[in-house]
Amino acid sequence: MNTQQALEYSMQPFIPMFIFGGGYEMVESERLRSEEALKALVDEWNANPEPSFGYDVIVDLADRNRELCDHVGETRLRNKPSSMLARSLSDADTCAAIGKMQRRSASAVMREIHGDREALGVAFTRKPIQGTVLGIDIETTGRAPERGYIINVGWEIMELTSDATPHDAEAHYCGLPEIYRESGVPLTEIHHITWEDIDNKTPFRENKALQKQILKLMKKYPYMAHNAAFEDSWFKLHLEGYAEARRGGKIVIIDSREICRRLDGEVKTLPRESSPAALENWARRRGTLGTGEVEQHLGLDDTDRMLRTVQAEFNEKNLFAK
């Protein structure tokens, strides 16, 4: 499907009663077409500095696709790959993050590494770490941002100093379509969020005040997340104005997992199958998660753990500005 065909598809009337009445095969066929159109539009928007359509077309199509997915069923879609979920941030993003924490330009960091990813570890230690970050984490009903929902978000702000304490913490539960009242909240076995937690809560996509609050904070502070490509992928399809602000250079993302991989020497020596860069394992090594404790998988809890673990790593390497 090319861009023009995708645009035409996005403008077609969406009549749920007709589609859902045709049974699983019809709904699944429509989902495949919807996601093909979504990919074509995202690819065009990423490649073209002046696309012929606004990003709202993409976000609206993603909203429509979720309604289709609700009727296909989360369990049927759980293991299907997503073209909207990035595996990692770009090297340019990492250089921008390093520059922001060291008060120098991203271009200076890019010149320093000369395209060598292995040099990023050295770049993290080249200048003192300082500034303020917004730590954030989301819990979702799946991995694919074009199919699932954000059901919990938590954040804190922390100064990048050796003894800072995270502050201005907030946590919000977000609702789901009524269809999930009977089937249950997907992935509850991981995040332990139940229908009772989100009953009568406003869905994230409908909570415009919450979206504006988060976007305002992201424009004010660089935001930090563990495996930040996940949050980045989800915010692009769920947080209004995020993709445009990100494209305009108004949002800087710091991936704490990248900090772990570049600074914690144990990551390279431990077995890969043990997930040494996972937040829970990293936190245990840095003493921010006790032996008998487990990761909570709730937005605010994981955010607080991440910020304290990053702080412990920077302290161990003596990287904070004096």
Please check whether residue 280 lies inside any domain of the structure. Answer: yes
Q: pLDDT above 90 covers what percent of the chain?
A: 80
- List, for residues 208-218, the tens digit of each pLDDT value: 999 999 999 99
85 lies in some domain: no
What are the strands, taking DSSP E only, across 185-239?
Answer: 223-225
Q: Which residue has the higher pLDDT, 17 or 71?
A: 71
Average pLDDT of the residues of the chain: 93
192 and 233 housed in the same domain: yes
Give the type of residue at 203: P
C-alpha to C-alpha distance for 257 and 263, rounded to whole angstroms: 10
Q: Is the pLDDT of residue 15 over 80?
A: no
pLDDT reported for residue 116:
82
Q: What is the pLDDT of residues 175-230, one digit of tens each?
A: 999 999 988 999 998 899 999 999 999 999 999 999 999 999 999 999 999 999 99
Q: Of 23, 38, 72, which residue constitutes the final position of a domain?
A: 72
Structure-block tokens of residue 85: 């979920």
Confidence grade of residue 27 (pLDDT, cut at 50, 70, 90): confident
Residue 316 reports pLDDT greater than 90: yes
Least confident of 1-5, 170-174, 213-217, 296-300: 296-300
Is 252 within a domain? yes
Is the pLDDT at 297 greater than 80, yes or no? no
CATH number of the domain encompassing residue 264: 3.30.420.10
Q: Say whether both 54 and 120 belong to one domain.
A: no
60 and 118 belong to one structural domain = no
Of 90, 87, 92, nearest to 105 by C-alpha is 92
Give the residue from 38, 72, 106 where a domain finishes: 72
Position 79 in a domain:
no
Pick 174 or 294 by higher pLDDT: 174
Do 105 and 215 share a structural domain?
A: yes
Residues 156, 195, single domain; the answer is: yes
- Are 28 and 149 contained in the same domain? no
SS3 string, 26-75, reads: HHHHHHHHHHHHHHHHHHHHHHCCCCCCCHHHHHHHHHHHHHHHHHHCHH
pLDDT tens-digit readout, 82-117: 999 999 999 999 999 999 999 999 999 999 998 788
Q: Specify the pLDDT at position 259.
A: 96
Helix, strand, coil percentages in the chain from 3-state DSSP, rounded to 5: 55, 10, 35
Of 12, 43, 72, the one marking the end of a domain is: 72
Instruction: Return phi, psi of residue 155, to 5°.
Output: -150, 160
Do 114 and 67 fall into the same domain? no
- Kindly state whether residue 180 falls inside one of the protein's structural domains: yes
Q: Which amino acid is at 39?
A: K
Q: What pLDDT does residue 70 have?
A: 92
pLDDT tier for residue 290 given thresholds of 50, 70 and 90 = confident
Read off the amino acid at residue 225. A
Give the angle 268-84-82 at the CA atoms, nearest 5°.
80
Considering the domain architecture, whether residues 34 and 178 belong to the same structural domain is answered as: no
Tell me if 321 is assigned to some domain. Answer: no
The reply to whether 152 and 284 lie within a common domain is yes
Q: In this structure, are 243 and 110 located in the same domain?
A: yes
Task: Give the pLDDT of residue 274.
Answer: 84
pLDDT computed for residue 295 by the predictor = 67
Judge whether residue 296 has pLDDT over 90: no
Confidence of residue 37 (pLDDT cuts 50, 70, 90): very high
| Domain contains 30 | yes
**Quick one: pLDDT at residue 199?**
96
Looking at the structure of the chain, the number of domains it has is: 2
Range of the domain at 49: 3-72
Same domain as 256, residue 131: yes
Distance from C-alpha of 175 to C-alpha of 241, rounded to nearest angstrom: 21
State whether 58 and 176 are in the same domain.
no
pLDDT tens-digit series, residues 236-285? 999 999 999 999 999 999 999 999 999 998 898 888 888 899 999 999 99
